Chain A
Amino acid sequence: MKRTMNLLIALVMVIVLIGGCAKTVESEETTAKDETNDEAVVSTDKEEPAETADPVTIKFFTGKVETVDLMNDLIDKFNAANPGIIVQQEFQKDASNVIKVKFASGDVPDITTVVTQDYIDQGKYLDLTNEVWWDRIDPAIRDLCTDVKTGNQYRVASNMTMAGLYYNKEIFEDLGLGEATTWAEFENDLTKIKDNYSDVAPFFMGGKDSWMLGHLIEFMAHGVIKQELGIKESKIALLANDDSKIHLGDVGGPMESFAAAILSTRDKGLFNSDFLTATYDNQIEAFAMGKAAVISQGMWALGGILEMNPEMTGNIGFMPYPSIKEGTKPVILSAEDSAYAITTDSEHPAEAKKFLDYLFEVNNMVTYSEFVKSPSAFTDVSADWGPLKDEVAHALAAGIHIGFTNESPSGFSGDDAGRMVQELYVGEYESSEAFAKAYKETWDKAWNASNN
Chain B
Amino acid sequence: MFLMLVGTLLLPSCEDDYLTEKPRSFLAPENTFMNTKGFETTLTGLHIQVQREWGWAGGNGLTYMHFFIGTDICISGNATPFYTVFESYGDDIHPTNGQVAGHWDFYYKAIGNANLIIEAAENPDVKWDYPEDKNRVIAEARFFRGYNYRALIAFFGDVPLVDKLEKPFRLDYTRQPVADILDFMIEDFKFAAEHLPDLGAIDGKIAKAAAQHMLAETYLWAGQPDLAEQAAQDIINSGLYQLMTERFGQKAGEPGDVYSDLFIEHNQNRGSGNLETIWAVQQEYSVLGGGGQDDGHNDWSRRGWVPNYAAVPGMVLADSLGGRGIGRLVPLQWWLDSYEPQDIRASKYNIKREYWYNDPTSDNFGQKVEITQEWLNLGKLYPTTTKFYFGKADDLNFLSNLKDRYKIRLAETYLLLAEAQMLQNKNTEAATSINVVRARSNASPVDPADVDMDYILDERAKELLGEYHRRFTLVRTGTLLDRVRRLNPKSKDGIRDYHVRWPIPQTAIDANSGAVLEQNPGY
Real complex partners, A and B? no
Interface residues of A (CB under 8 A from B): none
